[in-house]
Every structure is written in C-alpha cells, then in structure tokens.
C-alpha cells in the first residue's frame, strides 16, 4: 500500500492564493505570526504525519482497540509511540490561547494540520478532534479556575477531552436525555447516567480524560432548556495539578463498527461521579454547540482528508495496474489502466472535488478567524459567512467522502473489494462522517431553517453576487469561458431556489425541509465552483515559469469542475422546489 504524501503545495496554494490568509497577520489577534512561519510549521507537521502517524493506519483497522473485562481499553501498540511523539511536538496547541501554552495561530492553520493528521490515520486523529472541541468549550464557557486547571495539559495532549451528549434513548433529540446531576453542597455535583458513542471515552494513551457531560439538575425544565454541562474528569485533579483518585465513570463496552476500528467508541456509565458545572445552569446545550460547531467543520474536513488519501492510493494503483489495450496503444500491449477513459474520469472527478473541498473548508476556517480578528460590522459579516458555510462544509464534504472513496475502490477493480489492498478501509472509515456531529439531514435542516434566512437571505445572495464577478472574469478566458457560463447559470438557478425556499418555507416548514438536502448539494456545489473559479483565475495568470505544470494542472482541474461537475447543481432545482407532497403521499403500509 503506498505511503501517504502530504499535499503541502496544494495546501499552500489554497492558503496563499485562494483564501489569501495573509490579511490575518496584519491583525492584533494574529500579528505575532506570519505566513512563512505557518508554512514552515506545516512542512514539519507533514513530515511527522507521513513518517510517524500514517504507518499506524493499517494497525488501527486490523488490530483496532479492544475492551477489557476490567473496563480498560487497549489501543494498538503502534498508536502509543505516535501519541507520545505528537504530545512532545505540541502540535495540538498550535491554534490555542498562548496564556495556556498555545501558539495563537489562526484556526485555518490548525485545519491544515488536521487535514494531514486525518489523512494519515482518521481513527487516531479523533482523540485530537474531541480534545480540541473540549478546549474550545472551556475557553468560551469555563471559569478561570477551570481553565487554569484543565487547559494547559489538554493543549499539550497529556490529557484528552470528550463530548458526552448521546444516550440510548436520546440521539439527535438531545432534549430527551435523562442523566442526573445532584448538587452536593460544596459546589460539586454527583453525576449519574449512561452515555453512548463516546469517542475515546476510555483509552490507554493519555494520563487523564476530561469528560464534558450533559445532565439535568433537580427541577430542571424539560427539553433542551433544562440541560447543563459538567466537567467530569476520569481522575480527580488535586489543587497542585497532580492526579487524585479515580472518579465514578467506567467504560462498560465499546462498539464494533464498520470502520475507524482504532478509535474506541465507548459506552460510559456514570455512577455518582463527581463533576462541576461549566457555565450557567441550563446553558448546557448552548455550551455544547460551541464544541459541536468546532467539530462539524473538522468532520467536514474528514471527507476531504479521506478522499485525498484514497485518491493518492488509487492514482498509484492506476499507474501500476495494467489491463487491456488503451486506444492508440500497440496491439497486444497491456496498458496501465490510467490510460483508459473511464479511469481518467474517476481520477479527475476525485481530483477536482478534492481541490474544491479544500477551498471550501479552508475558506470556512479563515472566515472564523476573520470574525475573531476584526470588529464591528466587518466581524459580523465574516461570522455570518462562517455560519453559513458550516453545514455546507460538514454536509457536502462528508457526502463526497463517501462518493470519492468509493471511486477509489472502483479504480482498484476487484482488488478494491479485497481488504488486502487497504483502499476499502478509507471507504469504511468515511461512512461515519455524514452521521455523527449531526446527520447530514440535520445539516440540511439547519441550512434552510437557520442559515438561509439570515438577514432575509442576504448572506446567501451577497455571496452569489460576488461569484457573478468571478463568472464574468472566467468568461474572458477562452479556455474557461464555458465554466464562466455554467457558473452564471448555476448562480441564477440557486437564487431562484433560495427565494422559493424562503417564501414557501415561511408558509409551511415542510416546503423547505423537503428540498433541504438537494439544496445543500446545490448551494455547496455552487459555493465550491465560485471558489474554484477564483483558483482557476489565479492559475491562468501563473501558468508560465518555474511552476507552470502545477498551475496548469490547477487550471485543468478547475475547468473539469466547471464543465462536468457544476452542471449537476442547477439540475437539482426540481427536487429543491418539489415540496413535500410526494414524500408524504404514501402511508407506511404502502411504502412496505
């Protein structure tokens, strides 16, 4: 199986020339950093992920994590030195508050690190993802004492973090949870209940695990209004920062899953575990959404990262595997399958979508940075755009993770279906991403219910207006003119669909919900096209000189997207505006 090669040049192209993240370093928030430093760090991170983490990926899948009768969980042996080296390197601390040992880098640089970590080994990467979410929740909602106690070692990774929402009877409907938090009288609470699907809820990598748990205090209001957040460490922490006695939380089992076998997905039982309130009583869901928003962008990134890893493997296989005689080849000569048109179509589809997803996810992260680094109306504008892009990044990119890793299996032919080649692992690992951190149906509902209506639709329409200029510029280049025409058409159809959803969704929410999933695909594809169009214009202006081949490849990748992928977006208009009648026309018995 080929090694993973970090796509550093592709990443730098998006950071420098599409996202144009240099403006961040002129702000007070990020003025202590510069673009050269970020690229130097990313190069070292890429080396580490390729040499240290990527070789553990197969072990994670084949060996996996195992639950022991004493409630402990054993991870693959190869995970342990990789984890220790990552903690020692301090990569997890790079984007966080310098007051607690972080580097204070922009979040978009952390996203680049996450991409390479996730491509190297998605199952391994999840402890870092959940810890980052917990850090973000503490940063926004924790007390000064909690921050001082937990953040320094969570930033290094010596301690990891988890997110405890789901219960056996309360999945997407978090408001149905029943875990209890009884006040002790000294400021602490006793937490009792069961939580499921807790990623790295138990493991043998870190010294301590800091659980953030949703539970109800006595007399709490029903539904989500009565939920509070508590910090419940695996080991209690003494005043001097040393670890004390084991808390009342235990792992009663781990799930046997389709993929990400190296990541222990735990069932945790809390029995009078000691915890402390994070934020205010009843603010648990608001606090937890801080973690979930962070995590949703990172989960969207997983679709990109696994597509990249699977693409690299498929490309290498297509060069090595000979089968049949390609058009133009000498008779009787067995050709590399990359010379066959359908294999090229699959490779170009992967390559073009990967470029587009990277533009989308990195733009989303940079808009989060800009919303924090600026003030007033400018900050609000960046935050609105970041909020709009979150369901697109999560929903579109994770759906594509399924589709593009499936194409990688297809390129391998029969050997793709055989576990020996390893490509099927990426397909299996990718399948969870459209499900967790809010299913993609929930992302679509969020898009039409909360994000599209922002300022009466103006956030969406302003972005579409900006892409009109991109389309006009593309049309001036004879090689990109059809892309420009297609983008103009897609923008207009998306405007029409957006207006229809706003108007008819206000009359009956099911009008919007029925078309929400195809609308997410439509809007996400058009957003990607606008960003890829910008990339194409940059590439067209630089397709001579030392990096002519690189820029030429970017231009062709963008051209393929604009001519062969983008036209699928306006074709979804019928589904977006169909309404709910046909969805509910059949009874459950008739469906059977």
Catalytic residue status for 207:
no
The answer to whether 33 and 101 have CB atoms below 8 angstroms apart is: no
Cα separation of 77 and 204, whole Å?
A: 10
Fill in the DSSP letter of residue 373: H
**Among residues 287, 301, 333, 254, which one has the least CA distance to residue 74?**
254
State whether residue 264 is helix, strand or coil: coil
Compute CA distances 127 → 3, 32, 161, 522, 571, whole Å: 23, 28, 7, 33, 40
Sign, CA torsion 233/239/240/243? negative
| Alpha helices in 273-340, H assignment, sequence order | 284-320
State whether residue 195 is helix, strand or coil: strand
For tokens 């991409």, the residue is 115
Residues in the chain, total = 592
DSSP-derived secondary structure for 2-37? PPP---HHHHHHIIIIIS-GGGGGGSTTTTT--HHH
350: phi then psi, degrees, rounded to nearest 5: -60, -50
Count Cβ atoms below 10 Å from residue 498 Cβ, excluding itself.
20
**Among residues 269, 289, 277, 286, which one has the least CA distance to residue 133?**
289
**Of 437, 473, 489, 547, which residue is the catalytic one?**
437
State whether residue 149 is helix, strand or coil: helix
Tokens of 264: 């222990």
Which residues are tagged catalytic? 437
């Amino acid at each position: 199986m080929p090694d993973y090669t970090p796509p550093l040049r592709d990443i730098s192209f998006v950071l420098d020339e599409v996202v144009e993240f240099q403006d961040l370093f002129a702000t007070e928030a990020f003025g202590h950093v510069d673009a050269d430093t970020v690229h130097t760090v990313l190069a070292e991170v890429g080396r580490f992920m390729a040499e240290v983490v990527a070789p553990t990926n197969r072990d994670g899948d084949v060996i996996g994590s195992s639950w022991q009768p004493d409630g402990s969980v054993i991870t693959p042996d190869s995970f342990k030195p990789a984890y220790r080296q990552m903690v020692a390197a301090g990569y997890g601390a790079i984007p966080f508050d310098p007051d607690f040992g972080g580097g204070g880098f922009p979040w978009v640089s952390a996203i680049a690190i996450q991409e390479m970590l996730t491509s190297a080994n998605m199952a391994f990467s999840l402890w870092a993802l959940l810890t980052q979410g917990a850090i973000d929740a503490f940063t926004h909602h924790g007390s000064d004492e909690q921050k001082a106690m937990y953040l320094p070692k969570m930033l290094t990774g010596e301690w990891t973090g988890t997110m405890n929402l789901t219960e056996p009877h309360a999945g997407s409907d978090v408001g149905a949870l029943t875990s209890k938090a009884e006040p002790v009288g000294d400021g602490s609470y006793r937490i009792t209940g069961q939580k499921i699907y807790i990623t790295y809820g138990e493991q043998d990598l870190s010294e301590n695990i800091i659980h953030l748990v949703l539970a109800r205090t006595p007399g709490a209001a029903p539904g989500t209004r009565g939920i509070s957040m508590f910090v419940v460490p695996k080991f209690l922490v003494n005043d001097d920062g040393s670890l004390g006695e084991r808390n009342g939380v235990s792992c009663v089992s781990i799930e046997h899953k389709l993929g990400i076998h190296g990541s222990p997905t735990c069932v945790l039982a809390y029995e009078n575990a000691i915890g402390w309130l994070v934020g205010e009583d009843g603010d648990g869901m608001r606090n937890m959404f801080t973690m979930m928003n962070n995590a949703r962008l990172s989960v969207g990134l997983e679709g990109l990262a696994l597509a990249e890893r699977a693409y690299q493997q498929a490309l290498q296989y297509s060069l090595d595997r000979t089968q049949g005689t390609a058009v133009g080849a000498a008779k009787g000569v067995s050709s590399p399958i990359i010379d066959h048109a359908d294999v090229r179509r699959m490779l170009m589809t992967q390559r073009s979508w990967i470029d587009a997803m990277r533009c989308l996810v990195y733009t989303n992260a940079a808009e989060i940075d800009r919303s924090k680094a600026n003030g007033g109306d400018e900050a609000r504008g960046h935050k609105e755009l970041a909020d709009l892009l979150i369901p697109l990044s999560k929903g579109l990119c994770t759906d594509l993770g399924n589709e593009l890793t499936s194409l990688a299996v297809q390129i391998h032919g029969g050997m793709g279906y055989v576990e020996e080649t390893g490509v099927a692992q990426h397909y299996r690992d990718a399948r969870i991403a459209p499900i967790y951190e809010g299913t993609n149906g929930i992302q679509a509902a969020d898009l039409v219910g909360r994000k599209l209506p922002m300022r009466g639709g103006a956030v969406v329409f302003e972005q579409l207006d900006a892409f009109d200029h991109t389309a006009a510029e593309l049309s001036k280049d004879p090689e990109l003119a059809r892309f420009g025409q297609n983008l103009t058409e897609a923008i207009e159809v998306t405007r029409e669909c957006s207006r229809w959803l706003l108007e008819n969704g206000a009359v009956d929410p099911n009008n919007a919900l029925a078309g929400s999933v195809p609308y997410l695909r439509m809007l996400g594809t058009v957003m990607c096209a606008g960003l890829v169009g910008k990339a194409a214009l940059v590439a067209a202006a630089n397709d001579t000189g030392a990096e002519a081949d690189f820029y030429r490849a970017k231009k062709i990748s963008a051209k393929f997207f604009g001519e062969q992928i983008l036209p699928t977006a306006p074709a979804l208009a019928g589904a977006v505006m169909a309404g709910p009648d046909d969805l509910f026309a059949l009874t459950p018995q008739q469906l059977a």
